[in-house]
Amino acid sequence: MSIIIHRKISSSELQFSDSVHPLLQKIYKQRSIFAATELELGLKNLLTPETFKGMDDAVTLLVRALKEQQRVLIVADFDADGATSCVLAINVLKQFGLKSVEYIVPNRFEYGYGLTPEIVRVGKSLKPDLIITVDNGISSVEGVEVANSLGINVLITDHHIAPDILPAAQAVVNPNQLGCDFPSKCIAGVGVIFYLMLALRSRLRNDGWFKKSNTREPNLADQLDLVALGTIADVVALDRNNRILVYEGIKRIKAGKTRPGIDALLKVSRRDARRLKTSDLGFSLAPRLNAAGRLEDMSTGIECLLTNSENDAYHLALQLDAINQDRKQIELDMREQAFQSLEHLVIEKDNLPAALCLFDERWHQGVVGIVASRVKDKFHRPVIAFAQVDVDGSEEVELKGSARSIQGFHVRDALDAVATQNPGLINKFGGHAMAAGLSLARDNFDSFSRAFNSHAKKMLNEDQLRSVVLSDGPLEPEWLTLETANVIESGGPWGQEFEEPLFDGRFNLIEQRRLSGNHLKMVLSPKQDAQRVLDAIAFNVSEEDWPSEKVTEIEIVYRIDANEFRGTETLQLKVEQIIAAF
């Protein structure tokens, strides 16, 4: 797939103080920053909870639960955002004085996603007075109906796009429900429950709860390590508010003010807390948590984050690491199978369909989302990968699909359009603009594939289907230094829609060698300064994309990174794309 580089242009005339590095000034002007004050982080700049629709009702439910010492059941999603949300809710409610707080995280293979009727019936055995959903529930109309019929109150906290008909819960807190004025629509599920706890603490403080109950008022900043991890793991857009949450959480982890579970995950990931980056949360800690939910049961991840024992946390982190190794092997096998099934498309690059739907009977339900993402990256098309599951008590075979999209194609809305135009074709669906999930009957796969591709063809033009890399431009050779790498790192936190700077340039290729895992280690020098020798690495490079031994020059897109080895930091270029070889 040919790659086109588009260089970002300055979108503002912002004026910065002289203390801001000139390179950072240029980078910030190429981001969605409309005032220099947006770069001022710190908790004093955090949005307040008052504009959340449903917040007062939610707080009232929780105050009643505390005063009456009700039994509360947390129902969590089975990903890292759900796990961190669950742990945060349990920790804080207990600190407020609630004695009975338990949790259930649905096994995705038995119960599927969200507060289903089945999960409510399972939870009934714990005799809850109140169910709190975290990072799910906004579409759980049937589950809430069952809870209401059993006399169980439901408080929904979620951040996913709300359907037209909301569940009849006693309270709903979701910035993406109609009529909610909370400005940060991209907040993660863990951020939503954090705000609910902030609002609850404020009400309890005003009511004199902490004095009356002889309870020490907790510092909720202690939960920001969880908020940072869940926010980065869920790949939500880093608007200013999310950047504050992540910045403050990372700052606490770096200072050693984190829980044993996160510390243990850092250790098994071989990451130094003192040098923690957002990428460490996203690419080292989050996959180990998510692997539990993908292959087994997210309760292992939740228990790792809940425990106060360093020894227990480390053993649980080792379990999560082992599960993640299994996930990697399963993913590798599935990815190879997916690419083999698409070999004919590689030959016909100019005649690719607008969207790709893939299915293999051997595929694992928990890993299809990662495979869809890998195929999407290679072909720059919306992709849905399906796995086969048996329906309990029936001979029917159902397919569970995970979708990943490209900019300009809202995949959840696309599924809505396909379902509306083809009644009965899709059993269930939900999700975001860039990722979604669905289920359909096995016999409907071919019909769905045609309908989904037809919709994508109508919605996407040729330019949108071309793979474009947005670069911050070339980097002057004198800025290719370790100091610059540290300056850029300090300018974050970087993440979704506040992307870590990406540069492009032409380099002399002095040396290249293959490392294990299809990684390519290189020694480069800038064309404008051949005496400046630089280490570079490209991860997971397909053999077809490797430069031949005869190549002496390459054009690349890269990030600059401070690489630590045996206590020494050196500059390293992290090559994201090899555009051309000469």
DSSP letter string, 229-246? HHHHHTT----HHHHHHH
Q: CATH topology for 45-221?
A: inorganic pyrophosphatase (n-terminal core) (3.90.1640)
What is residue 346's predicted lDDT score, i.e. its pLDDT? 56
Beta bridge partners of 153: 130
For residue 582, the number of C-alpha atoms closer than 13 Å in the C-beta half-sphere is: 9
Torsions phi, psi for 132 (to 5 deg): -115, 120
pLDDT 10s digits, 329-384: 999 999 999 988 887 765 555 578 999 999 999 999 999 999 999 999 888 999 99
pLDDT band at 567; cut points 50, 70, 90: confident
Burial of 521 (0-12, 13-18, 19+ CB in 10 A): middle
pLDDT, tens digit (0-9, with 9 covering 90-100), for 131-161:
999 999 999 999 999 999 999 999 999 999 8
Give the mean pLDDT of 229-235: 95
Query: Which pLDDT belongs to residue 394?
Result: 57
Instruction: Give me the mean pLDDT over the 6-25 stretch.
Output: 85
Domain 3-30+472-581 has CATH 2.40.50.460: yes
Q: Are 401 and 438 in contact (CB under 8 A)?
A: yes
Which CATH number is 342-467's, of 3.10.310.30, 3.40.630.10, 3.30.70.270, 1.10.600.10? 3.10.310.30
Beta-bridge partners for 573 = 536, 560
DSSP state of 528: T
Three-state SS letters, 274-301: HHCCHHHHHHHHHHHHHHHHHHCCCHHH
* Of 311 and 342, more confident: 311
Q: How far apart are CA 155 and CA 173, in angstroms?
A: 8
Mean pLDDT confidence for 311-318: 98
pTM: 0.91
Say what the pLDDT of residue 285 is.
Answer: 97
Tell whether the model's pLDDT for residue 391 goes beyond 80: no
Q: What are phi and psi of 379, to 5 degrees?
A: -105, -10
Q: What are the strands, taking DSSP E only, across 88-144?
A: 101-104, 130-134
**Per-domain boundaries in the chain:** 3-30+472-581, 45-221, 342-467
Q: How confident is the model at residue 272 (pLDDT cuts 50, 70, 90)?
A: very high
509, pLDDT greater than 70: yes
Query: Can you give the pLDDT at residue 549?
Result: 82
Which residues in 330-390 belong to E strands, given as ranges? Answer: 356-359, 383-390
